[in-house]
Amino acid sequence: MTPGARWQAVVELLDDVASGGTADAAASSYFRQRRYIGSKDRAFIADQLFRQLRRRARLDWWITKVLERGETAPPPAARHRVVAELVLDQRWGAEQFTRAFDGQDHRPAPLSRAERLLLEVLRDQSLDHDEQPNWVRGEYPLWIEPQLNEIFAGDFEEIKALNRPAPLDLRVNTLLGTREHALKLLKEAGIEAVATPYSPIGIRVKGRPALASQEFFRAGLVEIQDEVSQLVALLAEAAPGQAVIDYCAGAGGKTLALAAQMANKGRLVASDISEKRLERAVKRLRRAGVHNVEQRALTPDNAGWFKRQSGRFDRVLVDAPCSGTGTWRRNPDMKWKIGATDVAELGQKQADILQTASKLVRPGGRLIYATCSILPSENEEVIAAFLEHNPGFSVRSVQDIWPAIAATPCPVDGQYLRLSPLRHETDGFFAAILELKPL
């Protein structure tokens, strides 16, 4: 692809994301429909897509500032952001734009009047500017600023870390092998990797290697899974022979981890509101050698079944739907798609899910609640409200359980697992372990 064609692809993907699609889904669909695009071009386009999304607030600040000088000030659009990026970061001049933006052979159309103004004004500037407010420099929505300052005690470095690119983590499937063996195979394949700092079954890979082409990946020895997701599954302390339910199973990542802990022995149920997500997990389960999983969709048809399961599970894992504020490193587009109203609605939804799932816990069993949110309204406040109305449950400190699941010191001081990108080099994450009083 020519440079211009590459940038046209970035523009099209940014437009797709702006219309409501997620960045990952947009890129996957785009490349699936254009299999003729080579691997290097795909990597460039995907990298630039996410780079643009991580710089959106600063690019928009400049675009708004410049276009206000003109007769009209159109809202920032994908092409504006690409032009501003090329001028501010890559120092493109008029000659380069003339060659690459000519409307021929899949290249972008020539610069508009507004875009020519951006080129003229921004060519001597840099992306960062002293006049930019904190929410612009930190790349987050203005509405969430008071909460971020409270959560991180005004530490701006903690806030900025939410925008850093995230590493690629793998979980070793202990049904099929050990971490040491997986690291050896990765090294033999020329892939740089190290053990994760907290999860005893995790591996952190350098870069974005083509794992799908590796036989050990296709055979199910390793799965792509963030370290924090591995940790919350480990905190369940699921054991062979127990009855365990992954209540919000999604694509099945934690279900796979739980099955490995249980050594394929015992009863493991994966449930989710989406039957399609559960169906997609079947292939992963089969590849991983997992055969003790029963799937149950959270649909009206299964309401009677769930009612009959009251008090029958030793472990109930609730990885609740949330704002995803802790995953901004991986999903930078999502920060611009939620608002304060969305978070308030999610808090009520999380409380309802936790209350419903709690009925499945056996006396003496555990209810594990987790989110990939950093907001107390989705975490500590949900747990506090639940405990107030459910006196039979009490908090089991993460510090009490940690020595049994990892050889490293517990990364937190409090009773909950609350992790952050800056301090722990993980996604922002929260987990609480609740125990039901024995009979």
- Which helix or strand (DSSP H or E) is residue 370 part of? strand 361-371
d(CA 43, CA 65): 32
**Tell me, what DSSP letter sits at residue 337?**
S
> How deeply is 11 buried, as exposed, middle or buried, from its count of CB atoms within 10 A (0-12, 13-18, 19+)?
buried
What are the residues facing 272 on neighbouring strands? Answer: 297
Tell me which of 248, 322, 372, 410 is the catalytic residue.
372
372 classed as catalytic: yes
The answer to whether 137 touches 39, Cβ cutoff 8 Å, is: no
d(CA 374, CA 395): 19
> How deeply is 210 buried, as exposed, middle or buried, from its count of CB atoms within 10 A (0-12, 13-18, 19+)?
exposed
Count how many Cα atoms sit within 13 Å of the Cα of residue 118 in the half-sphere of its side chain. Answer: 30
- Number of helices and strands (H, E) in the chain? 20, 12
The answer to whether 200 touches 257, Cβ cutoff 8 Å, is: no
Torsion of CA 260, 261, 263, 269, to 10 degrees: -80
Cβ-defined contacts of 130-138 (< 8 Å, 24+):
132/58, 132/61, 134/159, 135/57, 136/57, 136/58, 136/61, 137/57, 137/58, 138/57, 138/162, 138/163
The catalytic site residues sit at: 372
